[in-house]
Each structure stands twice: as structure tokens, then as C-alpha cells.
Amino acid sequence: MGERGDELDCALEVIMTFERRGLRADDASIAEELRRPPAEVQKMMEEAIRRGLVVKRDGYYELTAEGLKRVLRHRELFIHDRFVHRESKWSPRVRDWGKHWRHRHGLTKGLLESFYKALTDLDGRVEELKPLSDMEPGERGVIVSIACGLGAARRLAEMGLTPGVQVAVVRKAPLRGPVEVEVRGTRVVLGYGLASKIAVKGLGGPA
């Protein structure tokens, strides 16, 4: 899991996922999801309560507004580092992330709004995301982020590839060749490099 702050973020992710699914998270369920000892999870949750990130009611944890904000920031930084820069801990000190995404990575206002909505609606932990280029033929997924330069992002948007949209891989060429996908009932072909910058939450095989 990395350093303790990362572990806490992962625990908060579990609570948020449970809440999105109408479930309730306690020490045992969080420990099971993270594969960590329950005693260790209990200590993390005590720390989270002290920081005002969660509250405990009837033995179950609920995210506070600050906890939700932390989860969304964790997801944003994870995607920025792993999918845009391909590094685990790259994120610079940025005061205005909206401006950073627009000016550095080509996200328009509309794409940025879709991106933040996709982060909020994500069903599962952000660590479960993978590049579109890693999906196999027949696999489906929901696009969570696209960060590939202003021109490319606009072209993808024109093809219907935007955060929150479901996509299916039709075929892949070998040796990092093009990836053919189906989106909104239309098939489009993407270069491997472009497909590798699209973060997707897998949904399994065909519906």
C-alpha cells in the first residue's frame, strides 16, 4: 500500500465505494477489502476520526465532507501521476488543479466537468483503473479520464470518447498497434499511445 497516508486514502476509498453501493463499512469489511489486519484498520480509522474525515455511527463509518474531498483529491492525483506522467509520485505543488488540467493537459471546461463527475461517480477504488490500451477484445469499461493534449482531447470528444461514457474494445493489433473500440454505437480506431492515456474502469465482458 505504500506509506500510511496512502493506506488511509485507500480505506476512505473503500468507505466511499460502500456508500455508493448502499452498503455500510466497518473495520472488518474495510480490512477484508484492503487485505490488512483489522487492528491496523481500526487504528487508521481512529486517525481518520481525529482528522474529521469520517464519523462512526452504530459501528459503521461514514465519510464527512472533508473525507469526501480527500477521496476526490486522492483520485485526481492518482490519475494525474499514473496515467498522465506514468510515475507513482510525480504531482507538483499546484494551487489550482482546474487550471493545471486545462493549461497543461488540454482539458476543456466541459471535459473537466465530466472528469470530476466521473471521479465522484466512480464505483470502486481508483487503483482499479487501467489504461484503455490494456483492455482485451470483448472487455467493456467506463472512461474516467482523458489527458492527452488539447487537440487530441478535442478529437476524442468529437468521436464521443469523454469521461463517463461506456466503451468496448473490439480488437487490438499486436506489438502496441492500434486499438479499435466501440463507443455510442460507432467504431473508432485509436493509436496505442493515445489509448494508453485514457483511464478506464473495467466492467467485464460484453453485456
Tens digits of per-residue pLDDT, 82-140? 887 766 565 667 889 998 888 887 778 888 898 899 899 898 889 899 999 999 999 99
Domain membership of residue 34 (yes or no) is yes
Is 70 within a domain? no
Domain span including residue 49: 4-63
Q: Find where cell 486522492 sits.
A: 74
3-state secondary structure 127-165: HHCEEHHHCCCCCEEEEEEECCCHHHHHHHHHCCCCCCC
The CATH number linked to 16 is 1.10.10.10
Residue-wise pLDDT for 1-33, tens only, equals 344 458 899 999 999 999 999 999 999 999 999
| Domain stops at, among 27, 47, 63 | 63
For residue 35, being part of any structural domain is answered with yes
Residue 32 lies inside a defined structural domain of this protein: yes
What is the Cβ-side half-sphere exposure of residue 35, based on CA atoms within 13 angstroms?
1
Q: Distance between CA 86 and CA 80 in Å, rounded? A: 8
Number of independent structural domains in the chain: 2
Is residue 71 a part of any domain in this protein? Answer: no
What residues have CB less than 8 Å from 176, skipping those under 6 apart? Answer: 133, 192
